[in-house]
Amino acid sequence: MSLYSELMTRLEFQSAAEDLFKIPRGSLKPSDSRDTIKGWESFVDVDLLTLIEKEFGIEAESEIMEQETFGDLVELLESKGAFSG
């Protein structure tokens, strides 16, 4: 069961990702990547994939992992109809 009502919004997804990366809420930028976020390590990718699958029902592991930046990831999820509002 989702922690949120219906599908997450972009902001809810960003907040959840910030929690996974252990960075302050509101600090994640579209240009941020594994190179710029110390907490974005390979084991966090597993949690991020789980979040995406659980919240959006999207199982595109290789495609998701190929995204260079957080903004790229959000655009991919948007293209797959991931967000509400």
Res. 56: pLDDT tops 80: yes
Q: How far apart are CA 30 and CA 60, in angstroms?
A: 20
**Which residue in this structure is represented by tokens 């991931």?**
82
The pLDDT value recorded for residue 2 is: 46
Where in the chain are the domains? 10-79
Strand partners, 5: none
Task: Report pTM.
Answer: 0.87
Res. 55: pLDDT tops 60: yes
* Fold (CATH) for 10-79: 1.10.1200
Contacts of 12 (CB under 8 A, 6+ apart): 4
The pLDDT value recorded for residue 6 is: 65
Mean pLDDT within 15-19: 96
Q: Confidence band (pLDDT; 50, 70, 90) for 84? A: confident
